[in-house]
Amino acid sequence: MKPRKLYPGELAFIIFLGIISILAFILSLQMFLKDPSLSSQGAFPLLTTSVMLLMELLMLWEMRKCERAVEKGTSLSGKLTEVVHTLFPGKIPLIMAYVLIYAILLPIVGFIPATYVFLWGSMVTLNRSKILQSLLISGGVLVFIYVIFQFIFKVILP
Amino acid sequence: MGFYEILSNMFSALADPMLLLYLAAGVFLGIYIGAIPGLSVTMAVSLLISFTYSWDVLPAMAAMVGVQIGGVYGGSRSAILLNIPGAPAAVATALDGYPLAQKGEAGKAIGVTVTQSVLGGVIGALVLAVGAPVIANFALSFAPRDYFLLALMGLMLVGSLGNESASRGIFAAALGLFVGFIGLDMVTGQQRFTFGNVYLMGGVNYVVVMIGLFGMSEALLQLRDLTTQPVKQDVGKIIPGWKSILKYIPLSLRTSLIGVIVGALPGTGGDIAALISYDHAKRTVKNPEVPFGQGAIEGLVAPESANNAAIGGAYIPMLTLGIPGDAVTAIVIGAMYIHGLKPGPMLMVESADVFWFLVGAVLFGNVFLLIFGFTGIKLFAKIVEVPKYILMPTIIILSVVGAYTINNSIMDIYWMMGFGILGYILKIYKVPVGPVILGVILSSLIEQNFRRGISTTGNNLFRFIEDLVSHPISLVLLVVILFMALSQSSLWKKIRKKKDVA
């Protein structure tokens, strides 16, 4: 990796992946120790998680020359705000929340109303100037999806 | 097998007009999906798997092959008109295609890309028809350890190509393998990494992972920047004359062959084939009419013939060895498993009809490409102008529906969303997601063959290594893997640099 400026939160995310790798390694090791033969169910996971750990160390090693994204001495809350801004700029968090609400509402209110509300809501969120137009467009998209999947692909919709 | 026999096999496979219709519809859809930036071929094919779940094998495969052929070509349209490659395989096309469009010659550029894509695609299909049976025959003498090495090779290439660092690619591949281990162990039936969770006992469905990593995450990523506005373009005369096609034949033959070979290597697909061919054209064409990068026709001929030829190439290891040539074929392999087929050397023996059908579909898909490639360009100019605020929520809905239809399970939607957000963060922090999905898919192949291989040696690692170096096929594969590993190491790069300087 060429030394470049890191993205805010990149180092933390790579470290997070490292923690996952360590946990996965410990679980695999436990499994392997129960039946320590090379063709056992724990052998290959142990090998794989060892590679993950090794690559994790390499990634950290490669990042050592990279310029830090956040200047030293920035407060923790300042760092956090910057990370959140990098990962979830603009309307991304809203859209993510909509998707979550959509998935929860889907089995309760059914496919057609939940999808319509999701489509309209996210279209309006992304483009505030087209509230009424979005009502029509989301209806059109819904009909399109419904017809294609229900009648042409014949799949069961949620 | 004679040439005539091969041809008649391919034709007989496509005697059913309904199948041709599915293929044609796939090509047509693929062109538009590939052309819309943000809708990748990988995404389209992975969504298609879930929708064709309940179909018969052949219509499902026809639609998938069609979408792939159309999609690889379609990416060039937005590359030319908008300077946004609709698919990774069209990155090189944008280099000379967009300058042509800026001069108002978008029509000419599109005409060249259609004819070259078809030419490359047909060459790819023919090489597939002739080469696959030979390789499949050869592959019958492969032992489990050889499959283990092949799967490893596939993982290594994807883990290191086109990313900023090999370590990130390999990490991603290993992560994918790990996700693939979750569930019941295929040999002992014991639970692995399930934490007693009932949902996890069946393993994480890789289609769900795929839709999350490619569909949902891409839609989220596209929403980060809502300001990019599409540019309007005029498209006039597009069909090129015979003279101009014949003029570039030598180059297109060379780059098509490059495409087939690169496509056939495990882990490399149309995108890399296109870039290598572009580079080849740049080095071998001494006096182009227009310099490269400013609208050279050669700069369109090379990548477009190569990326479509790579499809036929990628199908060779897929059909004969069960090893994906690139991310899309990895998904097609997944689809074949779903329909109860076993891609590998026995496919030609057990399901010869499916095998020849696929070969024929690659060939005829290109005929449809020739028809559809010249149509709908004006309409297309409108579709690429669909604003993101409409397109992206629609893609999210498609991802949700796609994830749900696999098992009719709401849980799958949550998993898809989880992988979508994971993929989104991975992409932002420059950890490639392609290797993750390859890891998930290759997981059982690589592990089962490793375990089989090592248990034949009585769990003796030294005897396993001895086997690897004492059997010719294994030794060749091992040397290739070692060479690949070495050539990607920083030490090797340093030596190369020193040599270049000297």
Q: Is the pLDDT of residue A3 over 80?
A: no
Q: Considering only CA atoms, which of A47, A76, A9 is closest in space to residue B181?
A: A47
Helix H or strand E segment including B192: strand B191-192
pLDDT tens digits for range B187-215: 888 889 988 888 888 888 777 887 788 77
Q: Give me the sign of the Cα torsion angle A31, A37, A41, A47.
A: positive
Residue among A17, A107, A118 whose CB faces B410 most closely = A107
Residue among B178, B410, B414 whose CB faces A45 most closely = B178
Query: What mean pLDDT is predicted for residues A51-76?
Result: 87
Looking at residue B428, what is its pLDDT? 92
Structure tokens at B160: 């290191």
CA angle B389/B84/B395 to nearest 5° reads 35
Structure tokens at B224: 């980060």
**Chain B touched by A135 (CB under 8 Å):** no
Mutation target vs B (from A25, A44, A100; most B CBs, 10 A cutoff): A44
Residues of chain A contacting B174 with CB distance shorter than 8 Å? 48-49, 51-52, 55
Residue A45: pLDDT band with limits 50, 70, 90: very high
Residue among B54, B164, B394 whose CB faces A154 most closely = B54
Q: Please check whether residue A13 is in contact with residue B429, taking contact to mean a CB–CB distance below 8 angstroms.
A: yes
Distance CA(B292)–CA(B298), nearest Å, equals 8
pLDDT tens digits for range B367-396: 999 988 888 777 766 666 678 888 889 888
Q: What is the 3-state secondary structure (H, E, C) of A63-128?
A: HCCCECCCCCCCCHHHHHHHHHHHHCCCCHHHHHHHHHHHHHHHHHHCHHHHHHHHHHHHHHHHCH
Q: How far is A39 from chain B, CA to nearest CA, in Å?
A: 5
Q: Give me the sign of the Cα torsion angle B255, B257, B260, B266.
A: negative
Residues of chain A contacting B394 with CB distance shorter than 8 Å? 119, 141, 145
Distance CA(B473)–CA(B142), nearest Å, equals 7
Looking at residue B233, what is its pLDDT? 55
Q: Is the pLDDT of residue A71 over 90?
A: no
**Chain A touched by B427 (CB under 8 Å):** no
Q: What are the boundaries of each domain within chain B? A: 3-470
Low-confidence ranges of chain B (pLDDT < 70): 1-3, 13, 36-40, 82-86, 88, 154, 156-164, 228-238, 266-268, 380-385, 487-502
